[in-house]
Amino acid sequence: MDPTPHRGGSPSPRFTLQPSRLPPEDMLFCVDVDLETRSEMRIAPGPAAAAAASPGAAGASSGAAAASRQAARPPVKRMDAVKQALLLFVHSKLTMCPDHRFAFASLGDTVSLVKKDFSSDAGSAVEAIQSLDASETRYAMADLTQLFKIAYQEGKRAELQGRLLRVVLIYCRSSTKPQHQWPIKQKNFTLDIIYLHDKPTADNCPQKVYDALVDALEHVSQYEGYILETGQGLARILFRQTCILLSHPLQRCIQDDLDIPKPLAKKNMVTEAAQNEDGMPVSTQ
Amino acid sequence: TRPPLLQLMWSKDIIVANITLKNSPFWHFHPYDCTNITVSNVTILAPISSAPNTDGIDPDSCQDVLIENCYISVGDDAIAVKSGWDQYGIAYGRPSRNIVIRNVMARSLVSAGISIGSEMSGGIANVTVEDVRIWESRRGLRIKTAIGRGGYIRDISYRNITFDNVRAGIVIKVDYNEHADDGYDRDAFPDITNISFKEIHGRGVRVPVRAHGSSDIPIKDISFQDMSIGISYKKKHIFQCSFIEGRVIGSVFPKPCENLDLYNEQGQLVKRAAMVNSTEVDYDI
């Protein structure tokens, strides 16, 4: 378009930002099916807790009623919560843009494809999600090499089609460190991880697993990959983390700069510098 | 200077209950040199930013205090236990003692949920903080003091604390050099002894622990047990401490600093602390 002429002077140049679309995503979900995905998730502090706090016969009576209500509700396993989270993700993502596509894999000792072809059909995604089942096996290892191989091949194909390949790994083992033999080569897919683990005990070590997952992510991820972790066993936290992963890899800030809540006190830089309130202790010697 | 909303001095047998305190120009409730205080079912609200000194409850040189069942969302510390400032507090010599804070929901976007100090020159002892949830805050639990304060902070117990989106979960800072005037005693070192953390949980915490003593003001006899805090940083070494002496009992997440002795759940020493008094990394919180 021609710039609007100005009276009495040469027209100032006008900058126009050309509209462009973000590449649609092909998303490969890899869901851990180890025995630990049978662990129970907590929904929320139930009415039993509140009832237990009330004294007296009425309290006891309502406590009993709450207990029976609690017993009637089937327990939610980790895999159940993961499935719900994936359904939430797929429906939300397709609402944003119907061009996103999904494929599914499971992780035991190694990776197996559950639904190989990428598809934007919600029905077939739902079907694949519902078919995921927690195993009764405690797998001795978790080899991600095959996952990276598949992702690398699909990443090349996606790039040719003007799409972006993403891998979302949902990992649930509190002791088994994932491993891989993957060379440093051109990075062509983005890896996100959700790590659900038990609270630390003498028999497990989620810290080592977490560190290994971070290392793997940083080894392979093309764009900023997020790793979100929880040991609290609350389904609501998983859903919240799932919502964070809805963000497009090209529209993310670096995880370590995911600055929530914002440090509003830092608006006053002079005061902040002088106070050094949360920085390292400054030696007065 | 701005006035506190409700200030009671040299009084006893006080009950503040079932009210809402709102938009104070300064601290909302400031009991000073009082005995036998109960604060129950109180809501305190102030703008969450640009509202300095709108602390919720500041018991100051008070004994036998119960703060329970409160909801506090303010622009500075939600609760801060104090006992006088520098040479004036030392001279007055009235400690804050025998304080229970329980079943409190707190938000402090620019400061801390529950603070001890920094004006603690009369001494602070025997404080129990339990069943507290701190959300959307810059710091969760904080203990702060400085050279010149003198006095002591001892026998502080935190149990069943939950952080939800908190930048720094637990902060201990001994160089908070904000003084009444220049007449403070450079040789008045506060004594910090017997701080215990048990059943500490959370999610979305950038730095779970930052506990820095100094050569003049070491942190003595600190313990962490049953801690599992969900983190939002990818970094390692986010449990930081220096000039500290104490222990970690059982397994905790994330991995504790090396300056603490490690005990197993049965109370047996597993690993002696490495004698390190500094933390190399300093993350933005």
Q: What CATH class has A25-41+74-251?
A: alpha beta
Q: Which residues of A touch B234 (CB under 8 A)?
A: 214, 218, 227, 255-256
Q: Which helix (H) or strand (E) holds B273?
A: none
Residue-level pLDDT at A207 = 87
CB A100 within 8 A of CB A24: yes
Using pLDDT thresholds of 50, 70 and 90, give the confidence band for residue B252: confident
Domain boundaries, chain B: 6-271
Q: Which residues of B touch A260 (CB under 8 A)?
A: 165, 204, 232
Which residues 6+ apart lie within 8 Å of A247 measured at CB?
Answer: none
Contact of A263 with chain B, judged by CB distance below 8 Å, is answered with yes
Give the gap in angstroms from C-alpha B37 to the nearest C-alpha of chain A: 23
* Catalytic residue from among B33, B55, B58, B76: B76
When mean pLDDT is compared across A183-187, B225-229, B259-263, the lowest value belongs to A183-187
Q: Which residues of B touch A206 (CB under 8 A)?
A: 253
Our answer to whether residue B284 is catalytic in this structure is no
Q: What percent of chain B has pLDDT over 90?
A: 66
Among B residues 213-272, those touching chain A with beta carbons less than 8 Å apart: 214, 228, 230-236, 242, 250-255, 264-265
Contact of A204 with chain B, judged by CB distance below 8 Å, is answered with yes
User: How confident is the model over A225-282, as pLDDT tens digits?
Assistant: 999 988 878 887 898 789 989 998 987 888 877 655 555 554 444 444 444 445 544 4
String of DSSP letters for B178-203:
--SSTT--TT---EEEEEEEEEEEEE
Above 80 in pLDDT, residue B124? yes
The DSSP bridge partners found for residue B38 are B15, B66
Q: Which residues of A touch B171 (CB under 8 A)?
A: 278
Above 70 in pLDDT, residue A52? no
Higher pLDDT, A259 or B36: B36
Nearest CB to A231 within list B167, B233, B253:
B253
Contact of A271 with chain B, judged by CB distance below 8 Å, is answered with no
What is the rounded CA–CA span in Å between residue B151 and residue B86? Answer: 9
Higher pLDDT, A167 or A146: A167
Give the gap in angstroms from C-alpha A215 to the nearest C-alpha of chain B: 10
Q: What percent of chain A has pLDDT over 90?
A: 36
Higher pLDDT, B10 or A279: B10
Query: What one-character DSSP code corresponds to residue A245?
Result: T
A58-65 LR contacts (CB < 8 Å, sep 24+): none
Higher pLDDT, A16 or B149: B149
Higher pLDDT, A261 or B42: B42
Nearest CA in chain A to B178: A275
Residue-level pLDDT at A55 = 42
Using pLDDT thresholds of 50, 70 and 90, give the confidence band for residue B127: very high
The DSSP bridge partners found for residue A194 are A170, A228
Q: Which helix (H) or strand (E) holds B140?
A: strand B124-144
Above 80 in pLDDT, residue B20? yes
User: How confident is the model over B178-197, as pLDDT tens digits?
Assistant: 898 889 998 999 999 999 99
String of DSSP letters for B40-80:
ES-EEE--SSS-TT--SB--BS-EEEEEEEEEEEESS-SEE
Contact of A199 with chain B, judged by CB distance below 8 Å, is answered with yes
Nearest CB to A232 within list B173, B201, B282:
B201
Using pLDDT thresholds of 50, 70 and 90, give the confidence band for residue A136: confident
Above 70 in pLDDT, residue A123? yes
| Average pLDDT of chain A to the nearest whole number | 78
Q: Which residues of A touch B109 (CB under 8 A)?
A: 261-262, 264
Higher pLDDT, A75 or A6: A75
Residue-level pLDDT at A265 = 53
* CATH architecture, domain defined by B6-271: 3 Solenoid (2.160)
Above 80 in pLDDT, residue A10? no
Give the gap in angstroms from C-alpha A257 to the nearest C-alpha of chain B: 9
Above 70 in pLDDT, residue B278? no
Cα-based distances in Å from A246 to A39, A160, A214, B1: 26, 23, 20, 49
| Average pLDDT of chain B to the nearest whole number | 90
Residue-level pLDDT at A282 = 44
Terminal Cα distance for chain A, rounded: 66
Nearest CA in chain A to B76: A265
Q: What percent of chain B has pLDDT over 70?
A: 95
What is the rounded CA–CA span in Å between residue A200 and residue A184? Answer: 32
Q: What is the mean pLDDT of residues A198-213?
A: 88
